[in-house]
Amino acid sequence: MLQVHDVATLSAWYQTTLGLSSRHGGDEYEMLFDGDDFVLQLHRIDAHEHGFSRPDADSPGAGVSLWFEAEDRSTFEAMVERARFAGATIVAEPAWNPLAHHYEATLHDADGYVVVLNSPFQPDGS
């Protein structure tokens, strides 16, 4: 679950940028799915019914990054192109990460969270 300032805006960002779909919707809470797989919850940061909030509400995404792994390299490339088409802020262009043995690209979502798209682990780098 991400605690965010604007649930509707973030929901739209994840739907447009990553192709997730809404199964709840609303101004305070959202559930996002990839097909039948539950992927992400969004909760408005100042809605206190759960009794928690981020320690520094003015610093979105502090210490948090979300990673979305593609099924294969071509799916990874399609994810990056979808993000570009959606107008996502790409802070690191797709590149090979030799330490992680995969390709990755880094985005910022509409609330400032770091979102990393990556290909599957490839020990040989191909």
For 69-91, the pLDDT digits (tens) are 999 999 999 999 999 999 999 99
- Residue 87 has what pLDDT? 93
Residue recorded with tokens 């609330």: 111
Quick one: which of 6, 12, 29 has its CA closest to 88?
A: 12
3 state SS of 102: strand
User: Going along the chain, which residue ranges are E strands?
Assistant: 2-4, 21-22, 29-34, 37-44, 65-69, 89-97, 102-108, 114-118
For 13-70, the pLDDT digits (tens) are 999 999 999 998 888 889 999 999 999 989 888 765 544 444 555 666 666 789 999 9
pTM given for the model: 0.74
